[in-house]
Chain A
Amino acid sequence: MNPSITLRMNHALPAEHRERLVRIAREIRFPQDARIFEEGGRADRFWIVRNGTVALEMYVPGFRPPVVETLGVGDLVGWSWLFEPFVWQLSARTMTPVQAYEFDAVAVRLMCEHEPDFGRAVGHWVGRVLAHRLNASRARLVDLYGTYDRNDKSDRSGRS
């Protein structure tokens, strides 16, 4: 199974675990520009985007919060709910009207504690999402679109 699919909950979890999770999901709609959660708040829920775009923002004192990443269809919104201290590391805002599945994180954590197989599967799924985002962040750190000259003064077509 390819990574693009395994990042998505529907395919990342074995069917029996997926069904258990879906049973406690509820469908939810957010209008455009809605605050889904705030940095520093209690991470007691998480979402899977069904439609629309969500921006992740970081609080910078005195400035408009910069968008550090956008998430779209099939993406997991929120991972802090799985790791102590269960506090949001970023804020999330809808850039468009958004339809999503919402999950009660406390209920899911309890399920993880009581059923080790289920807990491992959920941990593996979220871990893969985190690894993917870490790789993307590292790519941005090295400047994916930067010019890396092989000559002292490259004057090729400047493809960057």
Chain B
Amino acid sequence: MTAVPVPHRVVSRSPETSDTVTLRLEPVCEALRDFVPGQFAMVHCFGRGEIPVSMSSIQATGGLAHTVRAVGAVSEGLCAARVGDVIGLRGPYGTGWELERAYGRDVLVVAGGIGLAPLRPLVLRALAEPESYGRVNVLIGARTPDDLIGRKEWEFWRSAYTGVTVDRPDVHWHGDVGVVTQLLGRARFDPAGTWAFVCGPEPMIRATARELHHRGVPRARIRVSLERNMRCATGHCGHCQLGPLLLCRDGPVVGWDQVESLLSVREL
């Protein structure tokens, strides 16, 4: 782990939606230590600043991918990066999904919007080892069809059930309409023996985790990825504090049993 951004070159740039791109990166010289699914890097756009972004792809060659949505100065700069440009990375930081805990159990992945990106390496790993896990379900929700990322990919995932739903369909949409939690009734999993992995905007995470728990999934087996204002990423500055947790260090992936009560406190 390094505190100084390590240069990485953009080797491909794939637009996902009108404001979201996936950048594939290769180290210019020194490679960062291996990431595990769920961890994040501080991604530095030279001259603008840096932001935390979870890995959306981890390759054996040391190559990495980040999916970034343009919501501010730094992310706009990253989204505008072209092939050949150099950006800085430091990391890996934080906790991973810890898919290995679900060994022999059903796996339920629930993603909202761009939240699918951090879950992508987990899904690929679970699908690559079908003998290690039970049924793998992937549920994806987004506001509109235009907000769905990874469409070329998830259509070919050989999961037990892959459901996709949007809140606001357009005239070309022929899939499900409704909140992502409505797909839970169609997924194939045994609640008591399931590990769930949830990522998306916090309102979606809360709604999903609560519904999962109501359906019988133990809180400790619901892993969620949270975001706060991460700055140092090393647990020193305190910007990402959530009650007793520093999410850059103790998260971003945490058990719902750890954070359910914290997310109910208005001041946090």
Contact = CB atoms under 8 A, between A and B. Distances in A.
A66 B204 contact: no
B215 A3 contact: yes
Contact of B227 (A2, A145, A156): A156
A68 B191 CA distance: 28
A154 B71 contact: yes
Interface stretch (B2-10, B57-65, B101-109, B171-179): B171-179
Interface in B246-260: none
Given A4-B185, A95-B174, A159 B114 contact: yes
A67 B178 CA distance: 9
A126 to B, nearest CB: 16
Interface stretch (A17-25, A69-77, A84-92, A104-112): A69-77
Contacts of A114: none
A156 to B, nearest CB: 5
Contacts of A4: 184-185, 214-215
A147 B201 contact: yes
Contacts of B234: none
Contacts of B180: 144
A159 B119 CA distance: 12
A159 B181 contact: no
Nearest to B213: A2
A83 interface: no
A145 B191 contact: no
B199 interface: yes
Interface stretch (B26-34, B127-135, B141-149): B141-149
Interface string A139-156: 110111111101101111
B184 to A, nearest CB: 6
Given A3-B214, A157-B69, A160-B113, A144 B204 contact: yes
A64 B170 CA distance: 10
Contacts of B186: 72-73
A159 B199 contact: yes
27 contacts: A2-B191, A4-B184, A4-B214, A66-B169, A67-B173, A70-B178, A136-B181, A136-B182, A139-B181, A140-B178, A144-B141, A144-B203, A144-B207, A145-B113, A147-B71, A155-B75, A156-B228, A156-B230, A157-B69, A157-B75, A157-B114, A158-B70, A159-B114, A159-B118, A159-B227, A160-B112, A160-B200
Interface of A: 2-4, 7-8, 53, 55, 64, 66-70, 72-75, 95, 136, 139-140, 142-148, 150-151, 153-160
